[in-house]
Amino acid sequence: MTEERIEAMLAELSPAEKAGQLTQYFYFKLPGEVDPALGVDAGEQPRAVEAALGRGGVGSLLFVADPAETNRLQRLAIEGNPHGIPVLFGFDVIHGLRTIFPVPIAMAASWDPETIERGQAVAAREARAVGIHWTFAPMVDIARDPRWGRIIEGAGEDPFLGAAVAAAQVRGFQGGGIIAGPKHFAGYGASLGGRDYDEANISEYELWNTYLPPFRAAVEAGAGNIMTAYMDLNGVPASGSHWLLTKVLRDTWGFTGFVVSDANAVKSLETHGFAADPADAGARGVLAGVDLEMAVSEPAYDHLPGVPEAADAIDASVRRILAAKLRLGVLDEPYVDEDRAREILADPQHRAVAREAARRSAVLLRNEGDVLPLDAAALGSIAVLGPLADSRRDTIGPWVFDFDLDETVTVLDGIRRAAGDGVRVEYAQGIPVTQRVFPSMFDMFGGNRPADPDGFDPALELASAVDLAAASDVAIVVLGEYQNMIGESASRSSLELPGAQLELLQAVAATGTPTVLLVMNGRPLDLRWAAGHVPAILDVWYPGSQGGNAVADLLFGAAAPGGKLPFTWPRTAGQIPMFYGHTRSHEPQNQYRRYWDEESTPLFPFGHGLTYSTFEYANLSVSAGSAGVDDEVTVSVDVTNTGGREAPEVVQLYLHQRHGRASRPVRELKGFTRVVLAAGETRRVTFTVGPEQRRYWHAAVRDWVLDATTFDVWAGGSSTAELTTTFEVR
Ligand code: NOJ
């Protein structure tokens, strides 16, 4: 029935209409939404798209999130088009639509697939209500270079954690009613020097073992779409790579959904010096396996009717697009109920889920002398300092478009609400609002950061912030990067705190008032000074529209932090790339002198994160001291909450293969689970370590292999866990 319906529709389409089904246009409502760098007439673009809708020349639209608009444009497609095929609406629903969740790297730091799934299900519910059928998310690119701004959109450095987070997001989005589009296939996170869009040269060994696993997990979780990557991968643009898009994705993994190009990435096959001209770019795109071209104007796929050798590929792609529309119910129910959409967007339950997610994603990096949690009853006054403490726009982070700043709770708001009447909470900006040196491509969607007040005098402002700190019982300093300093097209050559932030922190700490540093970020920053001088450091990321409430919950102990770092936190940019899963050198004893001018260790290791209690690990055991290569073993460990209050802990399992056909990383994460234990409680946690966890891709064999060898196992609360045992594989 489904197939017959698709075949019947396909048979009616002219070659131009088929090309139309394979074209996705941006639709910009406001001229200001068009990036001038795109070289498009901002006034003309929407009219050109509407004309194309009327002649059946559009299969999908992106960037529309208003239900009245999705309905209006859908009507143009259906009524103007002789075959009445509705369009699919895609959108970057990255960490929420109206209810904004913590940024993706923060959600990954929860190490809690259920929280992640629940969050994306809320985002999907809001999106579907306004007429969005499909999100360009999750971004599952492994990132080992934090200079790359898009590290914020992913799950960090590790393929195992990355795969779990990818699958959870796919389940969340698709369970919530929209198609998930894992991106950017593949290797984008390895762009040279962390420079956005630069080429990636990744060995086959790294590609299979490190960069591809999250994509495979997303496909196995049933993702309906995949987005290509912009950059050249090993000399071939990823968006024109038949090997990636067909051989690996479809032939090896059995992906049956549709592939979309990144924006303009088919056309730019010509820019890359790969395709000869736009027609060649279109032909190469569709033959490589790009079903749908995402375009701003003049799509390369306009040329497809003139490429007879691509006829079969075109038909196959049109079938996939129609199948997606059919499966989602878009063909039968193309319009949305605008009143219902408003109700869903306002659902208070969504805010509650976002608040819980923000609580679970914060990472307590340091807490000397148990400065945190604060005892509100014992405090007379709190100084809240730094421009990020009171910036709604920064609190929700980048990659959001349909947010409501009026309902966004800043850290200052949250502390004021939670501190209670007896506590004096005062705010000082302390330093000037720092701007990015170059404007961001997303500034067109509004910075909305409070500007420096009239007559702002930096020296006076710093002095009054320091006075306020000195006169208060505790100083809470919120530092980091403004949200437009990170994200797409926002790579950096350094990890330093921008502007005068360190100066403010140092001056406040020098007052002797107990100081808490809250970091608002999406990448590790240079916190070397803070890590030696500021007793409490809580990484709150960009915590979303309920962020301030969640942060206050954590500061005052209504909730205990339990997040763990999803990346290795280097001391300085000079150590990049730095990740825990490296192999050993021939002189491992020298590992402490990798650089003569800097420690070889990171500032904080992968998997690190404290809480308001302490945990001990004991009785690590393996079900069998010796197992066959195809056998599973189970590894168990006792975890005890040895502190005085209930608290979360992420129990982590690491493996190391001692010898074999390749040298393998010193440690690899192969299991984790987030538990909450009462004070004094012990829980035995068990992990399965089967062939799937032990196999690796061998570059010379060009296949997955399993070695008969000895494995070291560690269990604990970070990648530096010490409790260890071994088992043999025969
Ligand atoms: C370009 C980005 O690389 C991609 O991640 C995003 O989904 C598209 N633009 C659409 O906004």
As a whole number, mean pLDDT of residues 331-340 equals 97
Q: Six-digit token pair at 718?
A: 């970070």
Question: From atom 8 of ligand 1, which residue's Cα is the shortest distance away?
Answer: 263
As a whole number, mean pLDDT of residues 451-459 equals 87
Beta carbons of 298 and 27 less than 8 angstroms apart: no
State residue 618's pLDDT score: 98
> Does any domain span residue 483?
yes
State residue 435's pLDDT score: 72
Q: 487 alpha carbon to ligand 1 midpoint, in Å?
A: 11
Give me the CATH number covering residue 406: 3.40.50.1700
Burial class (CB in 10 A: 0-12, 13-18, 19+), 462: buried
SS3 assignment for 588-645: HHHHHHCECCECCCCCECCCCCECCCCEEEEEEEECCCEECCCCCEEEEEEEEECCCC
Burial class (CB in 10 A: 0-12, 13-18, 19+), 659: exposed
Give the bridge partners for 364, in sequence order. 538, 610
Share of the chain above pLDDT 70, in %: 96
My answer on whether 656 and 531 are in the same domain is no
Vertex 111 angle, CA 107 and 117, to 5°: 60
Give me the CATH number covering residue 647: 2.60.40.10
As a whole number, mean pLDDT of residues 561-588 equals 95
As a whole number, mean pLDDT of residues 175-186 equals 98
State residue 516's pLDDT score: 98
Split at pLDDT 50, 70, 90, the class of 70 is very high
Number of neighbours of residue 101 by Cβ within 10 angstroms? 34
State residue 590's pLDDT score: 64
Q: 186 alpha carbon to ligand 1 midpoint, in Å?
A: 14
Q: Is 482 in the pocket of ligand 1 (CB under 6 A)?
A: no
Q: Lay out the sheet containing 633-641: strands in order across.
A: 615-622, 633-641, 682-689
Split at pLDDT 50, 70, 90, the class of 327 is very high
Beta carbons of 216 and 163 less than 8 angstroms apart: yes
State residue 137's pLDDT score: 98
pLDDT tens for 413-428 read 999 999 988 999 999 9
Residue type, 231: M
| 41 counts as catalytic | no
**Whole-structure pTM value:** 0.97
Instruction: Determine which of 496-510, 569-583, 593-607 has the lowest per-residue pLDDT on average.
Output: 593-607
Atom of ligand 1 at shortest range from CA of 136: 7
Vertex 214 angle, CA 209 and 216, to 5°: 85
> Does any domain span residue 110?
no
My answer on whether 442 and 552 are in the same domain is yes
pLDDT tens for 608-647 read 999 999 999 999 999 998 999 999 999 999 999 999 999 9
My answer on whether 402 and 527 are in the same domain is yes
Share of the chain above pLDDT 90, in %: 90
My answer on whether 523 and 392 are in the same domain is yes
Q: Which three-class secondary structure state does DSSP give residue 396?
A: helix
My answer on whether 619 and 551 are in the same domain is no
Split at pLDDT 50, 70, 90, the class of 34 is low
**Which residue out of 92, 262, 526, 539 is catalytically annotated?**
262
My answer on whether 687 and 547 are in the same domain is no
As a whole number, mean pLDDT of residues 236-250 equals 98
As a whole number, mean pLDDT of residues 64-68 equals 96
State residue 35's pLDDT score: 63
State residue 39's pLDDT score: 66
Residue type, 460: L
My answer on whether 361 and 433 are in the same domain is yes
As a whole number, mean pLDDT of residues 566-572 equals 98
My answer on whether 383 and 468 are in the same domain is yes
> Does any domain span residue 422?
yes
Number of neighbours of residue 235 by Cβ within 10 angstroms? 9
As a whole number, mean pLDDT of residues 452-471 equals 94
State residue 725's pLDDT score: 98
My answer on whether 509 and 376 are in the same domain is yes
pLDDT tens for 434-444 read 777 777 776 66
Mean pLDDT of the chain: 95
> Does any domain span residue 275?
no
Residue 464 is part of which domain span? 354-557
State residue 588's pLDDT score: 75
Split at pLDDT 50, 70, 90, the class of 445 is low
Question: From atom 3 of ligand 1, which residue's Cα is the shortest distance away?
Answer: 262
Number of domains in the chain: 2
**Cα(93)–Cα(453) distance, integer angstroms:** 33
Nearest residue to 240 via CA among 191, 196, 194, 276: 276
